[in-house]
Structure 1
Amino acid sequence: MATNKALDSTIKVLDTTANPAPLGLMGFGMTTVLLNLHNAGYFELGSMILAMGIFYGGIAQIIAGIMEWKKGNTFGTTAFTSYGLFWLTLVGLIMIPGMNLGEKTSLPAMTAYLFMWGLFTAVMFFGTLRANRALQFVFLSLAILFFLLAARDATGSAAIGTLAGYEGIICGLSAIYTALAQVLNEAHGRVILPLGQVK
Structure 2
Amino acid sequence: MAETRVVDTTANPAPLGLLGFGMTTVLLNIHNAGFFPIDSMILAMGIFYGGVAQIIAGIMEWRKGNTFATTAFTSYGLFWLTLVGLILIPRMGLDVAGPAADAAMPAYLVMWGIFTAVLFRGTWRISRALQFVFASLTVLFFLLALGDATGSETITRLAGWEGILCGASAMYTGLAQILNELEGKEIWPLGVVKK
Deviates more, 1:163-172 or 1:148-157: 148-157
Structure 1 residue aligned with 2:37: 44
Deviations 1:25-45 (A, max 9, x none): 000000000000000000110
Structure 1 residue aligned with 2:81: 88
**Residue 19 (1) aligns with residue 12 (2):** yes
**Distance in 1, Cα, partners of 2:22 & 2:3:** 40
How far did residue 11 of structure 1 move?
3.1
Q: What is the TM-score with the length of structure 1 in the denominator?
A: 0.94
Deviations 1:111-157 (A, max 9, x none): 00000000000000011001000000000000000000000111111
Structure 2 residue aligned with 1:125: 120
How far did residue 21 of structure 1 move?
0.2
Matches within 5 A, 1:178-193: 178-193=173-188
Structure 1 residue aligned with 2:169: 174
Structure 2 residue aligned with 1:159: 154
**Distance in 1, Cα, partners of 2:180 & 2:110:** 35
The percent of aligned pairs where both chains have the same amino acid is 72
**Distance in 2, Cα, partners of 1:121 & 1:11:** 38
Letter in 1 for 2:87: I
State the Cα RMSD in Å: 1.2
- 2:49 corresponds, among 32, 52, 56, to 56
**Distance in 2, Cα, partners of 1:81 & 1:164:** 24
Structure 2 residue aligned with 1:143: 138
Letter in 2 for 1:149: L
Letter in 2 for 1:33: V
- Unpaired runs of at least 5, structure 1: 1-5
**Residue 115 (1) aligns with residue 115 (2):** no
Letter in 1 for 2:94: L
How far did residue 198 of structure 1 move?
1.1
Q: How many residues align?
A: 192
- Unpaired runs of at least 5, structure 2: none
